């Protein structure tokens, strides 16, 4: 991977933080959901954001 500037690293760090926050948010919402269909959808969304996080992290 090419050397990244401080600005680029900062943007990547911000993206990782945002994805991590979204994972936590949707997991928490799923845990508190009483409707199984909604719970499953929220878990799916959390999983998608975890995949985004993992993909971004793997590029570093």
How many Cβ atoms sit within 10 Å of the Cβ of residue 36? 8
CA–CA gap between residue 7 and residue 3 (Å, rounded): 12
- Overall average pLDDT of the 27-42 stretch: 98
CA–CA gap between residue 32 and residue 25 (Å, rounded): 11
Structural domain boundaries in the chain: 26-60
Q: Which of 10, 27, 15 is nearest to 54 (CA)?
A: 15
pLDDT band per the 50, 70, 90 thresholds, residue 4: confident
Question: Is the Cβ–Cβ distance between 32 and 43 less than 8 Å?
Answer: no
For residue 57, pLDDT beyond 60: yes
Helices of type H across 1-60: 6-32, 36-58
Read off the pTM.
Answer: 0.88
């Amino acid at each position: 991977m090419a050397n990244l500037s401080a600005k680029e690293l900062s943007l990547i760090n911000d993206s990782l933080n945002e994805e991590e926050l979204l994972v936590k948010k949707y997991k928490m919402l799923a845990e508190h959901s009483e409707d199984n269909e909604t719970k499953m959808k929220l878990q799916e969304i959390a999983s998608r954001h975890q995949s985004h996080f993992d993909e971004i992290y793997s590029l570093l």
